[in-house]
Amino acid sequence: MAYHLNLKAFISCFMKKSFFIVCLFSFLCGISFAQDVSKNTLAVAGPQLEFVTFDSVYDIGVIPLGSSIDNQLEFKNTGKEILTISDVKCDMKNMQFKWSSKRLKPGKSAYLTLIYEAHGDNGSFKTEVYIYSNAAVLPKVLHISGANIPSGGTYMPSNSTSTKSKGKRH
């Protein structure tokens, strides 16, 4: 019977040590995995295009028909490598874009000029602009909204959540 108790004590001690070793191994593997993930995040960081005064939704406001507006949209390279803008596309023919710098060093800012000519129908509009670059997220999508009104008219949206835009009206 004494022999049997010693075997139980041995098994109990062995199980406690095994449990401790398994827990230690799991902890060390978790730390190693976390370090590998952070290394991969840094490798992917590259160039990043971020707008300075808004996220991805921009309201250009109310524009009288027959006039035009140009707004300066500031963006910044928040990444670790040079950002290269290759193209800006939009499905609205009366909206054009110019950008002040095709190559932007990390931490530097530049401007995307949005030129909108109000013609066509009265009322609100929404469109997407696609900004193509060498950033990790391709393309950067900008959602633009606004409203056309008759020259000298007024526009009262049903749910006014617009933000004020800074731009020149012509």
For 117-137, write each residue's pLDDT tens digit. 998 788 899 999 999 999 988
Query: In the predicted model, is pLDDT for residue 90 greater than 90?
Result: yes
Please tell me whether residues 9 and 57 are part of one structural domain: no
Please tell me whether residues 68 and 8 are part of one structural domain: no
Question: What does the pLDDT read at residue 35?
Answer: 46
- Spatial separation of the C-alpha atoms in residues 35 and 48, rounded to whole Å: 22
Q: Residue 33 sits in which domain range?
A: 1-45
Query: In the predicted model, is pLDDT for residue 110 greater than 90?
Result: yes
Q: Which of 45, 65, 80 is the last residue of a domain?
A: 45
Per-residue pLDDT, averaged over 55-84, amounts to: 92
Nearest to 143 by CA among 121, 128, 132: 128
Question: What does the pLDDT read at residue 119?
Answer: 86
Q: Which three-class secondary structure state does DSSP give residue 94?
A: coil
Please tell me whether residues 28 and 1 are part of one structural domain: yes
Phi-psi region of 46 (alpha: psi -120 to 50; beta: other; left: phi over 0): left
Question: What does the pLDDT read at residue 102?
Answer: 83
Least confident of 27-31, 70-74, 102-106, 123-127: 27-31
Give 45-68 pLDDT, tens digit per residue. Answer: 689 999 888 888 999 999 999 999
**DSSP structure class, residue 91:** S
- Spatial separation of the C-alpha atoms in residues 29 and 51, rounded to whole Å: 39
* Nearest-5° Cα angle at 16, 12 to 19: 135
Distance from CA of residue 64 to its chain's centroid? 31
Please tell me whether residues 60 and 28 are part of one structural domain: no
